[in-house]
Structure 1
Amino acid sequence: MRYVIIGGDAAGMSAAMQIVRNDDQAEITVLEKGSIYSYGQCGLPYVVGGLIESTEKLIARKVETFRSKYGIDARILHEATSVNPQERIVTGTNHENGQPFEVPYDKLLIATGGSPLLPLWKGVTAENIHVVKTIPDTVRLLNDLRDDVEEVVIIGAGYIGLELAENIHRLKKKIRIIQRGSQIASMFDPDMAELLQLEAERNGVIVTLNEEVQAIEDGQVKTNGNTYKADLIIVSVGIRPNTAFLKQTGIRMLENGAIVVNDKLETSIPGIYAAGDCATHFHIVKQKPDYIPLGTTANKQGRIAGLNMAGKLRTFKGVAGTSVIKFFDLIAASTGLTETQLNKSGIPYKTSSIQTTNKAGYYPDAEPLHLKLLYHRDTGRLLGGQAIGKSGAEKRIDVLAAALFNRMTIEELEDLDLSYSPPVNGVWDPLQQAARRAK
């Protein structure tokens, strides 16, 4: 069986390893546009801040390992430019020698990931801005973060924007975040995101809201309201799936280019699978395909795609959009839907919010914990939640993610047997406190 995988990072190599383990006769070819395989993209901001000493620490397996130990034809600088589903051939360009290539397949996995969005602002060039998605992006940023760089402007306040703000702050730079919306961290509701904004300002990070960038000229960022000096500019406004080269194949995609897959990670064309940041992710609360590109999902989808390609049936159960971010002294976590998303969907809901402590209130180092639950107005079924505090937020959201997976109601949270000891929790866990308040 000839397996071809386009993309050599999280989803692609998770799939490749499952095929190796489950098909002794497999012939596996991986086509990677870059030169680095299987690395932890989520660690890149911490390399910038010096918490991780080099990008080398992020590489899980080098390309030579896949070749020599696992017998995979792992190619670098091979960019796939088209797929012919009728003849089952992938064509592209080998950037090592500039020559075209063709690779036939019996089963194909598209794991091409996503690329940072770069709006067409006046004056934008590849030289005067930075994005952080790959190791080469990060190396270039580190090279440009010289001592003479004093003022850094970050455009966009999602996961990467906030993590970069914290880590570049560690380098003693002046940071300004520009966000066109009315809040930072749109994965949280405004009342919860306000806690993150206060944390930014407490650490000297300037947050500029409700301003849209219009031009980047002469070392300045110009918005619809002001002009800001910028010795270095980072753009972090989202990503788009790397699927433009597939438009002529007839593969079904969402409007943003994400490849629609079923629970076996199969596309609309037989023999072709997709996984990771280029594919859709079934949302267990919305009960429909969504696009939530996260590293955990890419690894999980890749593994399941590889198993199915090798004939070992396994289904992808879906995601709730569970995520967590460290931002200075705070841990902020969320899962499920926000109020903004619920209002768009028309689902009737209620909320229950509390400010409590992350352990027994009388314990010496108990810290504040803010927690918010969202649940169906009529049935009580849990729809989402958010938690922010110095510690303990991720534990509560992970429990809530499991509750969402099992379609539990807010009342059923009270029935859970959760651990208790004064140094780590109150006798009623914050989740259960919020559930009781809802009643």
Structure 2
Amino acid sequence: MKVAIIGATHAGVFSAKQIKAEHPDAEIHVFEKNDTVSFLSCGIALWIGDHVSSPNKMFYESPESMAKQGITMHMNTEVLEAKLVDKHLVYKDLASGEETAADFDKIVITTGSKAIKPNLPGIHSDRVFDSKNWKNANDLKKVTPEIKSAIVIGAGYIGAELAEQLSVNGKKVTLIDGLDRVLAKNTSDEFSSVFEEAYKKHGVQLELNQMVSSFEDIENGVKVKTDKGEYEADIAILGIGFLPNTGLFQGQVNMLKNGAIETNEYMETSVPGVFAAGDAATVFYNPTQKYDYIPLATNAVRQGVLVGKNIEKNTVAYQGTQATSAVELYELAYAATGLTKESAKIKGVDAESVTIEEDYRPDFMLSTTPVKASLTWEKGSRRIVGAAFMSKHDISQAANVVSLAIENKMTIDQLAMTDFFFQPNFGQPINYVSSVAMAAQAKAE
């Protein structure tokens, strides 16, 4: 079996490794335009903030380590043409310019995503930085120690983390977003308002509910114009979001309107023998029970593994995702899974939510700290569709617990009675996960 994997993203790396594990005799070719693989881009803000022991550890594989596993790596190589029905590729060595054509038995599309970069005046200035890949990370790491101010555009997870790390390292930061609050697509208002207060406390200038219209180089800096004002800083950083990088395959496979490639539960596209995974593909979103586009590394890794398990025959079905994620800003941990009440409405789910706040362990302990917990459920069925937790305590695993509950279609009633241990070092007699479920029960009556 001869397999072509287009893109050495997280999904591409795990697809290649799993195919080799399942089919040791398979001939696997990975095509990648860049010279690195498996970069953990979620660490960019942490690296800029000097929280990374070594940038080399931000990769869990290399072209050399992949080759040692029997995988043929075509680095600095661009796929120019892909005839998916025929399993035919034309690719170009970017160093030599040489073009080659080859046929395969299977094709795996793991081309990932591309940063949203609107065609605005001045956006291609050397003072406007992207925050997506290894090159972007290096560019930012070189310039940020010397700057005194920065404008971050986009208050999602990436922009939020960049703004936080720059501010705690003494930079004057302006954070701009088109929505009316920070992390608006990731949190409900009661959580984002806590973060907004933390930003203000650390001197971050929040400029929300406005759209950027242009960039202009000025002496020793850049001016960012929006529909509501003008802002100046040494540099600007884009963190607007991502779209599927699937232009090469337009018209050949079924896609969502945004270009995300549709797959079945075995990661196979509408073209037999062609698979897709990661940021290039759709996911089955368990809270809504529908396919959606949610670019997350965790989704990409699992989907890549499934490609390997199903490359020859349907073996293991995709269990879907809850889009569980987390962020820590100014020592405040936030972890969430599934939908908020606001996002449920947008997705067409008739939902209700409740929020509580209580100390994570008994007050007789010498120290404790509050946990803010929210639970969202579908009206009528009482099926859990989302949860969020915030604290200075590590609440990350609570989101994983509720993620599992969502995947298994548990109700608020089941979660309220689920067995969680009690020990004063770790929690209350009624764990805050159960406590918020009980609050949901009371509100739902």
TM class by smaller structure: over 0.9
Q: 1:86 to 1:279 in 2, by over 3 A?
A: closer
SS of 2:195's equivalent in the other structure is helix
Structure 1 match to 2:245: 242
Tell me if the contact between 1:358 and 1:392 (Cα under 8 Å) persists in the aligned partners. no
Tell me if the contact between 2:48 and 2:144 (Cα under 8 Å) persists in the aligned partners. no
Instruction: Give the length in aligned residue pairs.
Output: 436
Mapping of 1:38-57 within 5 angstroms? 38-57=38-57
Tell me if the contact between 2:85 and 2:271 (Cα under 8 Å) persists in the aligned partners. no
Give the drift of 1:41: 2.0
Letter in 1 for 2:51: L
Structure 2 match to 1:230: 233
Give the drift of 1:146: 4.3
Give the drift of 1:288: 1.1
Give the drift of 1:242: 0.7
Give the drift of 1:131: 1.2
Tell me if the contact between 2:168 and 2:202 (Cα under 8 Å) persists in the aligned partners. no
Give the Cα separation in 1 of the matches to 2:353 and 2:364. Answer: 27
Give the drift of 1:23: 1.2
Give the Cα separation in 1 of the matches to 2:276 and 2:14. Answer: 12
Give the drift of 1:310: 4.3
SS of 2:411's equivalent in the other structure is coil
Tell me if the contact between 1:373 and 1:384 (Cα under 8 Å) persists in the aligned partners. yes
Tell me if the contact between 1:55 and 1:135 (Cα under 8 Å) persists in the aligned partners. no
Give the Cα separation in 2 of the matches to 1:87 and 1:380. Answer: 48
Letter in 2 for 1:4: A
Q: Which moved more, 1:80-89 or 1:181-190?
A: 80-89
Letter in 1 for 2:3: Y
Structure 2 match to 1:74: 73
Structure 1 match to 2:423: 421
| Cα-to-partner distance string for 1:202-260 (whole Å, 9 max, x where unaligned) | 22222211121111113111111111111110010100111011114x20111111100
Question: When the two structures are superposed, what TM-score results if normalisation uses the length of structure 1?
Answer: 0.96
Q: Aligned match of 1:155 in 147, 153, 156? A: 153
SS of 2:327's equivalent in the other structure is strand
Give the drift of 1:18: 1.1
Give the Cα separation in 1 of the matches to 2:24 and 2:182. Answer: 49
Structure 2 match to 1:141: 140
Tell me if the contact between 2:84 and 2:107 (Cα under 8 Å) persists in the aligned partners. no
Letter in 1 for 2:157: Y
Mapping of 1:380-395 within 5 angstroms? 380-395=382-397
The answer to whether the aligner puts 1:308 opposite 2:310 as a matched pair is: yes
Letter in 2 for 1:379: S
Letter in 2 for 1:371: A
SS of 2:390's equivalent in the other structure is strand
Give the Cα separation in 1 of the matches to 2:421 and 2:124. Answer: 53
Mapping of 1:4-19 within 5 angstroms? 4-19=4-19
Q: Which moved more, 1:176-185 or 1:97-106?
A: 97-106
Letter in 2 for 1:28: I
Tell me if the contact between 1:111 and 1:277 (Cα under 8 Å) persists in the aligned partners. yes
Q: Aligned match of 1:164 in 146, 162, 175? A: 162
Tell me if the contact between 1:349 and 1:376 (Cα under 8 Å) persists in the aligned partners. yes
| Structure 1 residues without counterparts, runs of 5 or longer | none
| Structure 2 residues without counterparts, runs of 5 or longer | none
Task: Provide the alpha-carbon RMSD of the alignment.
Answer: 1.5
Letter in 1 for 2:28: I
Give the Cα separation in 2 of the matches to 1:14 and 1:272. Answer: 16
Give the Cα separation in 1 of the matches to 2:171 and 2:136. Answer: 19
Tell me if the contact between 1:156 and 1:237 (Cα under 8 Å) persists in the aligned partners. yes
| Cα-to-partner distance string for 1:39-62 (whole Å, 9 max, x where unaligned) | 322222211111114421112122
Letter in 2 for 1:14: F
Structure 2 match to 1:433: 435
SS of 2:250's equivalent in the other structure is helix
Give the Cα separation in 2 of the matches to 1:24 and 1:376. Answer: 46
| Cα-to-partner distance string for 1:25-79 (whole Å, 9 max, x where unaligned) | 2111000111001232222221111111442111212211221x21211011111
Tell me if the contact between 2:266 and 2:314 (Cα under 8 Å) persists in the aligned partners. no
Structure 2 match to 1:274: 276
Give the Cα separation in 2 of the matches to 1:180 and 1:85. Answer: 38
Mapping of 1:91-170 within 5 angstroms? 91-147=90-146, 149-170=147-168
Structure 2 match to 1:183: 181
Tell me if the contact between 1:123 and 1:215 (Cα under 8 Å) persists in the aligned partners. yes
Give the Cα separation in 1 of the matches to 2:238 and 2:417. Answer: 45
Structure 2 match to 1:326: 328
Give the Cα separation in 2 of the matches to 1:347 and 1:38. Answer: 36
Give the Cα separation in 1 of the matches to 2:298 and 2:385. Answer: 21
Question: When the two structures are superposed, what TM-score results if normalisation uses the length of structure 2?
Answer: 0.95
Letter in 1 for 2:170: K
Letter in 1 for 2:234: D
SS of 1:82's equivalent in the other structure is strand
Tell me if the contact between 1:22 and 1:310 (Cα under 8 Å) persists in the aligned partners. no
Q: Which moved more, 1:96-105 or 1:13-22?
A: 96-105
Q: Aligned match of 2:223 in 220, 225, 239? A: 220
**Identical-pair percentage:** 29
Letter in 2 for 1:125: H
